[in-house]
Structures are given as structure tokens and as C-alpha cells.
Amino acid sequence: MTIRIKMKNIRSKELFEKGQKHLVGAVNSPVRAFNSVGGNPLFMEKAHGSKIYDVDGNEYIDLVLSYGPMIIGHGNNKVIEAVQKQVSKGFTFGASTENEIRLAEMICNAFPGMDKVRFVNSGTEAILSAIRLARAYTGKNHIVKFAGCYHGHSDALLVAAGSGLATLSIPGSAGVPADAVKNTLIAEYNNIDSVKKHIAECDDIAAVFIEPIAGNMGVVIPSNEFISELREITKQAGILLVVDEVMTGFRSKFGGAQDLLGIKADITCLGKVVGGGFPVGAYGARNEIMEMVAPLGAMYQAGTLSGNPVAMAAGISTLEELETQKPYDKFNKQAETIEKALLAAAAENGIDLAVNRFGSMINPFFTAKTVTNFTEAQECDTERFTKFFWGLIENGVYIPPSQFEAWFLCSVLTDRDINKIIDAINVAMKMAK
């Protein structure tokens, strides 16, 4: 498909060409290459509040928000102040600091059943540590994941892994040996029988890993029956339930999506928001599980930059702002308004569209079906999405360059921003005909 871009895009194009020499594909994460939507990838220069600006001076309302962490908007004054104060004291020490204790307390208080937490540097690192912890605690080796759920790029979980691979039409990853995934079992999201089958056939399952709201095949919500029965059957079988809240943590309530869904994880993995925009991951659980981790127990995991003081400062101030702002009712109302606009614009233009949303996460699917799993998500009209994507970009709304990624809202979105998003949706949907 030929993409004709009307907006000014000269500098981004120059940087993309220049970057090819020393960066892989001129990017540091595959989705940034815009392979699935064509055209030239955008290079960003700055951001403030609800807006982001590219190197050509184009302004966009930001619905990517670094894929979630900028929940209170870009450049919040209190976060900047906290970061600057810490930077003046030091960037990293490779030693313990008081702020690690403060942030740990805030997180454990927000997640029922979490007594202790260990900070790491990314969601991927949190998940791979949780795999090791689950195996150490149970003495078992197999894990179950759901097709379309992305849990980072560690070998054991880089199968049927959702947005990144789906965006590039890659079924798995080269360099992952068969032995690395031989203990990984794949189930279907929202299909409890697919989990029961694995449990019946394998008595060596340490844990089931799940995104409570799947955010890497779009936004896919579990049915009440599925998620509650999943919790029950894992308990009965002595299998740990690992809930990946890297994306959903603090996005729908002050705490986790699992609380809204009426379940409690054995191990919870976090990232994104708890770093306030800096690289942070975390995994936490009740005492008897976390005391398996060194130096208390025999499961080894370490990191020189874990609990980085700058990231801790940003995380604390971000969570304090969330507690003060309490933006969750506002998120629901704004997401509902955007959903109605999407459906109305699609109907007006004779386009099949389904919209899924949960709290501050929303995603339109160009399909006549209700999307409840990865197979249904993959059946969407990605060519129509491409036209719609560029229609929004050209009208000042920045969304992820993939049908399979969630949109995110931030607490500083104004009524004026929402009206501009609606206007852009109406124009873009006409372009998607």
C-alpha cells in the first residue's frame, strides 16, 4: 500500500535514513519502524502535558504515552522536581537507598496479598524473574501462557507473543532454541478449557502467566467466568497464577486490574507507571514466595541498577500524584466518549468496527466480530487500520502504529483535547473507507 503523507515530514525522513547506518533498522524497538503501517516513522523531539512534538514541529495529542507510563502526562512539575533533586545527589550508587523502601511500601499497600517486592529494570526482567521464582517455589518446570499475551522478550515466553511479533508478521523469533520453549504451553485467552487440558495432561506446571487485560493484541478483556475459574483451577492444582500488570498496573485504579476483576495473583509483575517514565520493573508476592529470593532464599536474581535512585524518585512522585488526582472516573468517561465517537464515525462510513476498553486503555478493531482472543484480533482489517492511522496522524493525534497495541489516556487530557480527538476520528474514518 502506498502511503501519501501530506504533513511536513522532512526531518523525520532524514533521521530515518541517517539512522540506518548505525542502528538496526534505524530504531531500538521494532514497532517504531512503522513496518505495519508503511510511510516514514516519526522521530520525536519533546513532549509536555498531553502533547508530543516531532522533529518537524508537528504537534500531536499523545495516546501512546510511551506505551503507558506517562499516565499523568509529560513533564509533570512535581515529578521533574523529584528527579532533579535526586540527579543533583547522584544518578546511581549500586547500593541501597531509602526511596526503594518508600516505593516498595506504596506498591505493596496498593496490591492486596503482596507483602514484598523486588525492583528490576524492565517488565521483561520482572517476568523472567517471576518464571524462575515460580519454578523455585513449586519445584516444577512447565509454564502456561496465552496466545497474544506479551510478557517481554525472554526466550521462554517469546512464542505466540502478541503485538510486536504480530505487527511484523513474525510467528516466533530466530535465536530461540527449541529447548528454551519446550516447557512453555500455549492456551487460548478466554477459553478455560484450553487451560484445563494442559493441567489434565501435565503434572509439572509451575505457573500460569496472564495479562489481566490483554494489551498486546489490542485491548482484550477476560470474561468474568474465565478469569474467576482460572484463579480457582490454578489454586486447586497447586499452580501459581502470575499476573502481568506491567501495562495495567495503576491504569484502571490505584492498584491493579486484578482487584477490579475480583482475583488475587500469587505473583504480580509491574513496570511502566511505577517508574514514572524511567526504566523500572518489579515483581512481588506474599512472604512465603518472596522469601525464596536471594538473599533470603535460594533463587538468585540480582542487578546493579535495580532500584535506581532516579527511577525510584520518579515512581514515588508519580504515584503520589495519582493518589492526589484520583483520575479514574475521568478516564472511564473520556474513554467512553472516544468509544462512542469511533463507533459513530464507523457507522456513518459503513465500516465494521469493534471497540474494547478498560479504564484508561482503549482500542478499535476493524472487524465486525467481538474480539475476545488473539485469533479474532488477527482477523481484523489491518489495511483499513493503516489508512485510519495516517488519518489520525495527519490530524494531530498520535496512536501506536499497530492494530495490536492499546491506546492510553493521561490525566491531563482536556475537553478541548477530547474534541480534537473526535474531530480527527471523523476525518480519519472517512479516509479509511
Tell me the residue range of the domain where 247 lies.
Answer: 77-324
- Reference 11, options 40, 31, 52; nearest CA is 40
Give yes or no for residue 138 having a pLDDT over 80: yes
Give me the chain's average pLDDT, please.
Answer: 93
293 and 144 belong to one structural domain: yes
Q: Are residues 366 and 313 in the same domain?
A: no
377 and 426 fall within a common domain:
yes
Tell whether 351 is covered by a domain. yes
In a domain, 3, yes or no: no
Question: Is the same domain home to 218 and 277?
Answer: yes
Q: Whole-model pTM?
A: 0.93
Cell of 9: 515530514
Residue positions counted in the chain: 433
Quick one: 147 and 115 in the same domain?
yes
Q: What is the CATH number of the domain that holds 150?
A: 3.40.640.10
Marked catalytic residue, from 67, 137, 140, 244: 244
Would residue 244 show up in a list of annotated catalytic residues for this protein?
Answer: yes
- Neighbouring residues of 366: CB distance < 8 A, sequence distance ≥ 6: 351, 352, 353, 380, 381, 382, 384, 385, 388, 403, 432
Q: What is the DSSP string of 297-332?
A: SSB----TTTT-HHHHHHHHHHHHHHHHH--HHHHH
Are 115 and 65 members of one domain?
Answer: no
Q: Is residue 5 part of a domain?
A: no
Contact 411, 71 (CB under 8 A): yes
Determine, yes or no, domain membership for 26.
Answer: yes
3-state secondary structure of 197: helix
d(CA 53, CA 45): 6
In 3-state terms, what secondary structure has residue 2?
A: coil
Q: For residues 195 and 243, state if they share a domain.
A: yes
**Peptide bond just before 171 cis, omega within 30 deg:** no
Quick check: is 349 in a domain? yes
pLDDT tens-digit map of 344-397:
999 999 999 999 999 999 999 999 999 999 999 999 999 999 999 999 999 999
Cβ neighbours of 24 (radius 10 Å): 10
pLDDT band per the 50, 70, 90 thresholds, residue 171: very low
Q: How far is CA 70 from the centre of its chain?
A: 12
145 three-class SS: strand
Q: Decide which of 302, 324, 346 is a domain's last residue.
A: 324
208-239: per-residue pLDDT in tens?
A: 999 999 998 999 999 999 999 999 999 999 99
Q: Is residue 2 part of a domain?
A: no
Q: What are phi and psi of 269, to 5 degrees?
A: -110, 140
Q: How many helices and strands, by DSSP H and E, does the chain display? A: 15, 14
Indicate whether 67 and 82 sit together in one domain.
Answer: no
Reported as type and span, the H/E element at residue 397 is strand 397-398
Task: Evaluate whether residue 54 is within a structural domain.
Answer: yes
The one catalytic residue in 51, 145, 272, 387 is: 272
Q: Are residues 65 and 100 in the same domain?
A: no
In this structure, the answer to whether residues 34 and 81 fall within a common structural domain is no
Please name which of 246, 252, 253 lies closest in space to residue 273, comparing C-alpha atoms.
246
- Predicted confidence at residue 85, as pLDDT, reads 98
Indicate the number of domains in the chain. Answer: 2
Which amino acid, one-letter code, is at 285?
Answer: A
Q: Which of 295, 324, 353 is the last residue of a domain?
A: 324
58 and 206 housed in the same domain: no
Q: How confident is the model at residue 3 (pLDDT cuts 50, 70, 90)?
A: low
- CATH number, domain containing residue 362: 3.90.1150.10
Residue 113 backbone phi and psi in degrees, to 5: 90, -5
Q: What is the DSSP letter of 40?
A: P
Kindly state whether residue 181 falls inside one of the protein's structural domains.
yes
**331 and 300 in a common domain:** no
Per-residue confidence (pLDDT) for residue 13, from 0 to 100: 95
Of 67, 150, 189, 398, the catalytic one is 150
Pick the last residue of a domain from 289, 304, 324.
Answer: 324
Identify any residues that bridge with 163 across adjacent strands, giving them in sequence order.
Answer: none
Indicate whether 160 pLDDT > 80.
Answer: no
Q: What is the mean pLDDT of residues 133-154?
A: 94
